[in-house]
Amino acid sequence: MDTGTAILIVGSLIVVLLVVALVSMFAKLRGVEARRAESSDALAKVEADSIKLRAAAQTDADEARAQARREVDELKAKALAEIEEMRAKATSDAEQARKRSDQLGADLRDQRADLERREQRVVEREERVDADARSLEEREQELEVQFAALEARKVELDNLEAERREILERAAQLTADQAKAELIASVEEQAKREATLLVRDIEREAQENGQARAREIITLAIQRLASEQTAESVVSVLHLPGDEMKGRIIGREGRNIRAFEQVTGVNLIIDDTPEAVLLSCFDPVRREVARLTLEELVLDGRIHPHRIEEQYEKSKAEVEALCVRAGEDALVEVGISEMHPDLVALLGRLRYRTSYGQNVLKHLIESAHLAGMMAGELGMDIKLAKRCALLHDIGKALTHEVDGSHALIGAEIARRYGENDDVIHAIEAHHNEVELRTVEAVLTQAADAISGGRPGARRESLEAYVKRLERLEEISMSYEGVEKVFAMQAGREIRVMVLPDVVDDIQAQVLARDIAKKVEEELTYPGQIRITVVRESRSTEFAR
């Protein structure tokens, strides 16, 4: 906005304000005249009132005029001040615009100079490119001349080669293709003969070195592993604080010892051994539960049938917790950090399982160390080899519950809990139920053989004895109405607990005879076996 326009706007505002003031004043004057006319008509008879009214009207008119003048003066002063302010601002904007214009002009001059310099460089570059293009054209012409000379030389050489080939074919009485085929056949036959000799030498050397290397690896693994040479026993010894405790264990008329053997299924032997009793049972888990039960009863001092049953249940839960802890300790010892919790619990249950007198969990740990050592010698994955060997007998934790080979059962368990395919294959192949396909499976089989074959590791007679006791219990449990069965007295006695509501006294006698007959038909054993059928009825009431 320029100065002239601002002045015109301010003048227009002043005129508008003056017009508004005059209109207001004229309106007031018209009101006064109207009142005057009304006063003249209404009060014509009273001249004094008319004079007073006229004087008042005159006074009001003078005051209105004075007020209008004052307002006009104020508006004029305000408009002049705004005009001055706008003029100063317009002057400042004009100065800034002039400076900006000067700056833009300088920038344009600089950009024009820069563009001129660039145009000059482009022109110079184009001149150089033209010169290079002319040089390349000259070089291309020279190369075309040389290429033509080379083509002529090539034709000449081809003619000489054809003449030479014709001379050689006439001399050898063979064409070039025939000579080439004979040469290739000769070279191929010689190469096959040399390759056959090389393969034979390599196979012979690999077989000789492989056997020596395998013996060296197995020997080093055996030398580096230090294991216990003891086998599991079927008898546990519990030391007592004094011989008087034996009488409390036996109870009045032997009721405590009978209740203990009936509840736990373990034979309690109290002989002349000072301050000690023996617990005999082929099942190590059952024997451990009985040992913990009797140990707590001895510490507590209260020994009676009801207390025996309570402590037996607590000991069973404690053994289960010990199994989980044993599985975790085995993982730590071997160096494996991750495994499914259910698989760890199954692994811990093997702490109380034996194979030919060898503790299965110790056997697995020992096999894992052996497999890891051999894998390290071969430069393979040590952790994978240890995992395969540690789990290869996991199926033995369920062999008394699931029918089938423990290798196939273990493979199914590992598959169910998301183990690696190599681990599953090593488990199912360690007894050659399936064909070996991986090196880890071979190492697992070798570690299993070393651990089980070392001196003192296993005893064949104990395994046969345990199997006979298990079969005695299986035969007795196959009859209807049987609640629990315990093989006792080293297999010379079977105690069968029946349900009193299902089996009466006469059926109990028949059941004992049937079991004895079936045992005679199926098993071979020295001496005789006593079958005792126990039918017991209990009535319980509470006094309140």
Sheet containing strand 276-280, strands side by side: 235-239, 276-280, 267-269
**What tens-digit pLDDT sequence spans the chain (544 residues)?**
566 677 777 777 777 787 777 777 777 777 767 776 776 666 666 666 657 767 776 787 778 778 878 887 888 788 788 888 887 887 887 788 788 878 887 888 888 888 888 888 888 888 888 888 888 888 888 888 888 888 888 888 888 777 777 776 666 666 667 667 776 777 777 777 777 777 777 767 766 666 666 666 666 666 666 555 444 555 677 788 887 888 888 888 888 888 888 888 888 888 767 778 888 877 777 888 898 999 888 888 888 888 888 999 999 889 888 888 988 888 888 888 888 888 888 888 888 877 766 788 888 888 898 888 888 888 888 889 899 988 888 888 875 566 677 888 888 888 998 888 999 999 988 888 888 888 888 888 888 888 876 665 565 455 666 777 888 888 888 898 898 898 877 677 889 999 888 888 888 888 998 998 888 888 776 667 888 998 887 666 777 6
**230-334 has which fold?**
Ribosomal Protein S8; Chain: A, domain 1 (3.30.1370)
CB of 353 within 8 A of CB of 360? Answer: yes
For 439, other C-beta atoms within 10 Å of its C-beta total 17
Q: Domain ranges for the chain, please list them.
A: 3-130, 230-334, 364-458, 467-535
Instruction: Specify the long-range contacts of residues 451-454, CB closer than 8 Å, at least 24 apart.
Output: 451/227, 451/363, 451/366, 451/367, 451/370, 452/355, 452/356, 452/358, 452/363, 454/222, 454/227, 454/229
**467-535 has which fold?**
GMP Synthetase; Chain A, domain 3 (3.30.300)
Element (H, E) at 526: none
Residue listed under structure tokens 């190590």: 284
CB of 259 within 8 A of CB of 306? Answer: no
Tens digit of pLDDT for each residue in 453-487? Answer: 666 556 545 566 677 788 888 888 889 889 889 88
Burial of 518 (0-12, 13-18, 19+ CB in 10 A): middle
CB of 330 within 8 A of CB of 365? Answer: yes
Per the CATH hierarchy, to which homologous superfamily does domain 364-458 belong? Answer: Hypothetical protein af1432 (1.10.3210.10)
Strand pairing class (530-535; 493-498): parallel
Which pLDDT score is estimated for 47?
A: 65
Instruction: Count Cβ neighbours within 10 Å for each residue of 275-285 and write b for 16 or more, e otherwise.
Output: eebebbbbbbb
Sequence-ordered alpha helix ranges (H) in 379-456: 382-390, 406-416, 421-429, 439-453
The domains spanning 230-334 and 364-458 adopt the same CATH topology? no
Q: Which two tokens stand for residue 71?
A: 């307002």
Tens digit of pLDDT for each residue in 156-199? Answer: 888 877 777 777 666 666 666 766 777 677 777 777 777 777 77
Q: Which two tokens stand for residue 54?
A: 């006229």
CB of 438 within 8 A of CB of 430? Answer: no
Burial of 492 (0-12, 13-18, 19+ CB in 10 A): middle
